[in-house]
Structure 1
């Protein structure tokens, strides 16, 4: 029980912990719902003590006060993925963005490409042996704990204890702060009829015994809702949200036919409501693995009947997918989309499927409707998934299988699943590009 004495020696206040941060340091925050809210707030409150502190992370569910214009002399946000709290700093010029595949982040931390002076993380309380769980975010957390010069842990009584490669002893923390509060929750709401139609089309491509990767949002939940009659599905994904719970409890997702990690739901982070966090707590079915495992195409390819489903902001008639920018500005990032699409293409059983699922059109704040299938991506738009990688594109109007198709064939297929209000315009784009009638 000597670890309890060590624990007491490392115990400090939030204000005391963030004094370990020095001007010029790079501070990495744990991802999404594992962001240590109390430590981040203490760091920002202590802003006068810092100049040129770089703050990095994937998604933040916090306020992102370090990314506000008034903090520019003290903090610089450099994101690997952006969110509503941080993306404006990039657009305003006092923040920055690093393009990177999610699968590569742990290795880049390990090699010092992404140096980490201070890592701040939120974890579960220690067990009788002094071992904590990183709870809802394993992705780059474990490598950051190993590689950071200083690790500050917030012990949160409400952090679920999740297994897999997610355990860390308190010896690996330099400083410990006790601060409990509910984890941030994300609610996707009810899926509309358009999303449900997309879900049904996606489900038509999913066989019994398939292993799935699902992104976040209303469409993945609609896909899950359409899978109730399937059997023996598995999960190998970046994340799961609330939508997976019903299928797991119903036995539809049991992982019994997975070719690797059989019987386990394998993810690198968890992102949802308290219902999800309670479900995964001490649940032996759920295993967290780092992103360089879950998102590694060489691992993904080993999954039999693998199906990955991701979203997009827009797709052009070449089949190029933009999932990371809007109006020539950074909106999110690549995340794991390309990791999984390439892993599916490399499937050892030759049965991997990659789906881009999105509504055919959307509506701007001013009420104007616009097509998400476009003739060409505008100048400054980032290509997330290239025309060489794209496989299936699905909207509420149908399925376009693009793999192996010529540029003319894929353009026709995409126009056929576009919103009817825009098909005539897209047909004109087709005729101007290819010099023949649509």
Structure 2
């Protein structure tokens, strides 16, 4: 059967979705935008369809309260549309470490349909899964029906994302732009934190960076470094800037020397143009890229992640506000542990010392410390205190590796906002975290 024989319309694809089915879609820009942005149109004829997604970029009409009987949504990583609609009652989070997300989910439930995106077929008939293979190829191998939205705007990437068209059941020909994330301009706090981290990064180190103001500031501060490498969960726009500046070459890497390794790419158009037909970029399965044992094969590995709150024992909450799910674990624990498995490896958790928090009684926003004696009630521990290494705020770096709890308290209080240090230490004494001799 030729490629053209496998091309169907959006309406034909939607007709394949039946009540009680499990539908999985790709991560981030790998999400099937046409299907997910139109799946609400079949709500009148389906019930109890479960949609599993991760960092969804769709505009989310299917998340409307009127469709709660038609669709359940299970998310590996919440994005703003899922957070907003969570109160509707048909959305739930899947606790996971990203490198295990795919196969653990498959151990629980098999997808009836997988819908994703792909680049155009090459002259040999191979398409590329393009921006993500975090779990996508695992789902393709297992799903009863596979539908890919094939799109000339999607970059053709290499790694283990290449699949012959004959292995895919159906294609929808699409022409929308690849979803992008806006560039976040670092603020003064970001720049201070970025500079503190950059001072502890050496020429030849291999990096994992997230996205946002702090990681962007770190990337900016690294432009004068030499022969850095990339082994990261997410290929970002900031990494392209480092490559073009000559700071990243991959020449010193001990694993995939000279290659920029990631499991998905999400950022601006410049990023997508860079990874298109670029053999120096490898998009590999998340089960491999994010495996802490694999990450640890990179000598001088450095993991840089952000957090929402850190308690005085070193517990890191990066995904919830109290008990309310905000984002997800993602690959934070994968990369933090993996980096410390490496020869000369290091892991950083970065956060602002304070945040503006709305007072539930007055409705006014108040400045609160993000270094706290105890995490908020019900807060999710994303990175255990056993796995924390260095914590960074705009006030300094707390080296916690191998320290006892008393030492952690002292070091974390020292990087808290000065206005809160006395209060934090006082509460630590009151609740019995520390006692005077």
Shorter-normalised TM-score: what interval? over 0.9
Whether contact under 8 Å (2:406, 2:434) holds in the other structure is no
* Deviation digits for residues 243-265 of structure 1 (CA, Å, limit 9, x no counterpart): 11121012210100100100000
Aligned match of 1:422? 420
Whether contact under 8 Å (1:66, 1:76) holds in the other structure is no
Aligned match of 2:268? 273
CA distance 1:427–1:160, change in 2 (3 Å): same
Aligned match of 2:124? 129
Residue 8 (structure 1) aligned to one of 4, 7, 15: 4
Taking structure 1 as the reference length, what is the TM-score of the superposition? 0.95
Matches of 2:11 and 2:433 in 1, distance apart? 64
Aligned match of 1:44? 40
Whether contact under 8 Å (1:89, 1:96) holds in the other structure is no
Whether contact under 8 Å (2:52, 2:74) holds in the other structure is yes
State the secondary structure of the residue aligned to 1:55.
strand
Whether contact under 8 Å (2:97, 2:333) holds in the other structure is yes
* More off after superposition, 87-96 vs 17-26: 87-96
Aligned match of 1:178? 173
State the secondary structure of the residue aligned to 1:362.
strand
TM-superposed deviation, 1:327: 3.2
Whether contact under 8 Å (1:31, 1:57) holds in the other structure is yes
Aligned match of 1:118? 113
Aligned match of 1:218? 213
Matches of 1:287 and 1:416 in 2, distance apart? 41
Residue 403 (structure 1) aligned to one of 396, 401, 404: 401
CA distance 1:337–1:256, change in 2 (3 Å): same
Please state if 1:356 is matched with 2:349. yes
Aligned match of 1:298? 293
* More off after superposition, 163-172 vs 259-268: 163-172
Whether contact under 8 Å (2:28, 2:54) holds in the other structure is yes
TM-superposed deviation, 1:91: 3.9
Please state if 1:93 is matched with 2:86. no
* Deviation digits for residues 353-383 of structure 1 (CA, Å, limit 9, x no counterpart): 1110111112246442221111111221111
Root mean square deviation of aligned Cα: 1.5
Instruction: List runs of 5+ in structure 1 lacking aligned partners.
Output: none
Matches of 1:144 and 1:262 in 2, distance apart? 29
Whether contact under 8 Å (1:106, 1:290) holds in the other structure is no
State the secondary structure of the residue aligned to 1:201.
helix
State the secondary structure of the residue aligned to 1:30.
strand
* More off after superposition, 401-410 vs 359-368: 359-368
State the secondary structure of the residue aligned to 2:163.
strand
TM-superposed deviation, 1:435: 5.2
Whether contact under 8 Å (1:80, 1:99) holds in the other structure is yes
CA distance 1:209–1:421, change in 2 (3 Å): same
State the secondary structure of the residue aligned to 1:21.
coil
TM-superposed deviation, 1:170: 1.2
Taking structure 2 as the reference length, what is the TM-score of the superposition? 0.95
Aligned match of 1:198? 193
Aligned match of 2:142? 147
CA distance 1:92–1:316, change in 2 (3 Å): farther
Whether contact under 8 Å (2:68, 2:89) holds in the other structure is no
Matches of 1:123 and 1:300 in 2, distance apart? 27
The count of residues paired between Structure 1 and Structure 2 equals: 431
* More off after superposition, 353-362 vs 427-436: 427-436
Matches of 2:171 and 2:240 in 1, distance apart? 33
Whether contact under 8 Å (1:139, 1:291) holds in the other structure is yes
Matches of 1:434 and 1:82 in 2, distance apart? 33
Aligned match of 1:318? 313
